[in-house]
Structure 1
């Protein structure tokens, strides 16, 4: 990455940071609309055709499910065009070696992968009411790629706005524990995607208690997806405790206003997310709670990425002297 500590915003161009932040916000909305596709069971609205919809470019006399699925494909395609525009603007607005160029290219690559994973789901019939265990695996991969995409877009927006480049190596325990936190969040998100799928396919509509539902998940006739539903809440407790500790640790090791600010944001979103997760279980995962839960998961991930970024580019206190971390 760039060896320059900061890049003046003027050199990055007036439109580059605006487009980068807009791309981040837009992709969050696209992700939420994708969740609507899953919740409504509209994933098969275009049949088993991809990238065509029911074998044609524009569906004729579409059903509601077709409209929902086709609109998701259109908004996803628009995110790809937005990413291409971001690359063009980055290569014109900033010099060679600027991290915003790398961020834009990586973001586009992850958007392509996002589309390919979605296409695989459709072509293999892993949509709508499919209970194939492979669907859970693909859902997990899809969510992990989504998290990485948002992280890439966030970093691109920061770099385009003149924020410091990032050094990953030689960060000591700060780097090590930060990477553990990011890894745990990725795994938690993947587990959450499987649980959300299990809620959609297997959550009983009767008055079963959460304990009765768990027992049903481990019955002899239960599927792998049902077996894995319990992993997410258990992992959520472990990850939440670790993130609270990580915020305290980073505040001590890399003291600074930005680390304090983003650790507080992380803890606040985490607290709200725990309430949302508990409500999701008690209310038997209604669609609107699932959307809120997903939105908070995205916010939590972005807050963690910001906290780690600020810690890795912030002050390090060693031997009683503060120094600014450089870049590679």
Structure 2
């Protein structure tokens, strides 16, 4: 029984995995550029107009902030075009029911939602120096959608490359704990987005110590976004501990080279992210450190999705006396993949 999917060896079939991987990498770069927009305070560079910029299609005599914001809109629009091309190519090169089709459609839907959330931020004035608590909520939703988009693009690229389909149901504790791990990482990312926003708006420029900064965050005059800044580091410790345990658990329950490889990658990125987090606090969140922290967050999310995917699609078989294959003893049939 094969654990892989086939993609026809046509021109379209050859380009599908290339486009899918390219779209994933490109969207990571778009996300980083979006962070530059936030850090530079250029979110209001096009005023409160969306999708137009300052009421026109192409801004005339733009300021630096307008150039930064407008370029982000252009790069985001290009990601939408890539997603449309991915859907077309997936339907041309794969058969009905192929998971690459689902992945491509899901990616397109999430990119559209990404644009709509960004539009809401602009139209409601939740950009630049706005301290409205709603901005923190929208920022968190934006980050969650971004992570889901990256996950969808990763799965699409895997399926387009011939990786096995994925069964989510009847995975037992392996599935349950894997979903908890992904959920915690998603919430951690949302909290991180709020903390990054708080650093931008409220981090003092003086020589305040971290303890003094925390006290200021809970002063009577502090707002909701300031109050929530401390949640991210606390949640980071909890999530990191759980992901370390999850890697050990998956190695035991779904042993194999892929599980070992990706669990080790998760642990390595957790360590790097912890160092980056401490450095970000110690250095008072300089722009380059924020971008590094975000890039590592994207990498950690993608590697964790890969670990869970490999664990859920793992298939261990042993021959029966009659020559038929059955799942390995002690493992349920839910470990089979859909082909």
Question: Which band: TM-score by shorter chain?
Answer: over 0.9
CA distance in 2, matches of 1:327, 1:98: 10
TM-score, with length taken from structure 1: 0.97
CA deviation map 1:262-321 (0-9, x unaligned): 001111111001000000000000000000000000000000000000000013686357
Q: Paired residue for 1:6?
A: 4
Once the two structures are superposed, the pairs formed by residues 8-157 of structure 1 within 5 Å of their partners are 8-11=6-9, 13-157=13-157
CA distance in 2, matches of 1:124, 1:36: 20
CA distance in 2, matches of 1:60, 1:114: 26
- Structure 2 unaligned regions, length at least 5: 317-326
User: C-alpha displacement at 1:322, in angstroms?
Assistant: 9.2
User: C-alpha displacement at 1:7, in angstroms?
Assistant: 1.4
Once the two structures are superposed, the pairs formed by residues 220-299 of structure 1 within 5 Å of their partners are 220-299=220-299
After superposition, the CA RMSD in angstroms is: 1.6
CA distance in 2, matches of 1:38, 1:170: 42
Q: Paired residue for 2:336?
A: 325
CA deviation map 1:138-161 (0-9, x unaligned): 000000000000000000000000
Q: How many residues align?
A: 326
CA deviation map 1:189-238 (0-9, x unaligned): 00000000000000000000000000000000000000000000000000
Give the secondary structure class of the aligned counterpart of 2:264.
helix
CA deviation map 1:101-140 (0-9, x unaligned): 0000000000000000000000000000000000000000
CA distance in 1, matches of 2:141, 2:245: 27
CA distance in 1, matches of 2:17, 2:195: 36
Q: Runs (4+) of structure 1 moved beyond 6 Å?
A: none
User: C-alpha displacement at 1:5, in angstroms?
Assistant: 4.3
Once the two structures are superposed, the pairs formed by residues 306-321 of structure 1 within 5 Å of their partners are 306-315=306-315, 319=329
- Structure 1 unaligned regions, length at least 5: none
Once the two structures are superposed, the pairs formed by residues 186-225 of structure 1 within 5 Å of their partners are 186-225=186-225
